Amino acid sequence: MVGHQGFQASSNVSRETLDRLKTYAGLLEKWQKAINLVGKSTLPDLWRRHMLDSYQLLSHIQAKKGCWIDLGSGAGFPPLVIAICSAFEVHAVESDQRKCLFMQNVSRETSAGLRVHNRRIEALEPFAADVISARALAPLDKLLALAAPFVHDATEILLLKGQDVDEELTNASKCWNMEVEKLRSLTSEDGCILKISKLRRRS
């Protein structure tokens, strides 16, 4: 279990950035009483399970700025953390209106500048993204189909995945050509981060 001090030691973010993340954590705990934003059992370990889990994505990409889109953003992990801790222009796509209102509130209170799209991913007008992320959203083959309209030649895709990742990769490779790196998660022994580039549908 890691508190904000442990997060600070792992991430080395500035005090100002940490203060903004603490504001986010406080708002999450307040809103969680009315809306189920994250799994209740994960709240005591919020800084590891959600904050650090999101922040670690920044160490796995080559781009340092540009357009980042997160699919199925829920309570804002990872897009709010990325928006607070980096220079990316971050877009969050989420169909649940209450979760969108929560993310907009946090973005306003933390000056994160997050752009929230309250719609289904399939209904969003595609635009080119330099980084695409998703966390606990859908099986890999479906995720890649959702991500594909936003992909350009240099897009990096980062997906937080669990223990079924190898089976998902086997299924997805039937329909998709891609370069894949499987990276160790800092926050979960059975979890990993899939880094995907050069995505294109098999003809």
Measured between alpha carbons, how far is 38 from 166 in angstroms, rounded to an integer?
26
Amino acid in position 59: S
What does the pLDDT read at residue 137?
84
User: For residue range 56-115, what is the model confidence (pLDDT) as tens digits?
Assistant: 999 999 988 999 999 999 999 999 999 999 999 999 999 999 999 999 999 999 999 999
Give the N- to C-terminal CA distance of the chain in Å, as an integer: 46
* Domain enclosing residue 9, as ranges: 4-201
Measured between alpha carbons, how far is 94 from 182 in angstroms, rounded to an integer?
26
Q: What is the CATH number of the domain that holds 41?
A: 3.40.50.150
Q: How far is CA 64 from the centre of its chain?
A: 16
Percent of the chain with pLDDT over 90: 83
Measured between alpha carbons, how far is 52 from 9 in angstroms, rounded to an integer?
11
- Domain total for the chain? 1
Amino acid in position 159: L
User: For residue range 167-203, what is the model confidence (pLDDT) as tens digits?
Assistant: 999 999 999 999 999 999 888 888 899 999 999 999 8
pTM (two decimals): 0.95
What does the pLDDT read at residue 12?
92
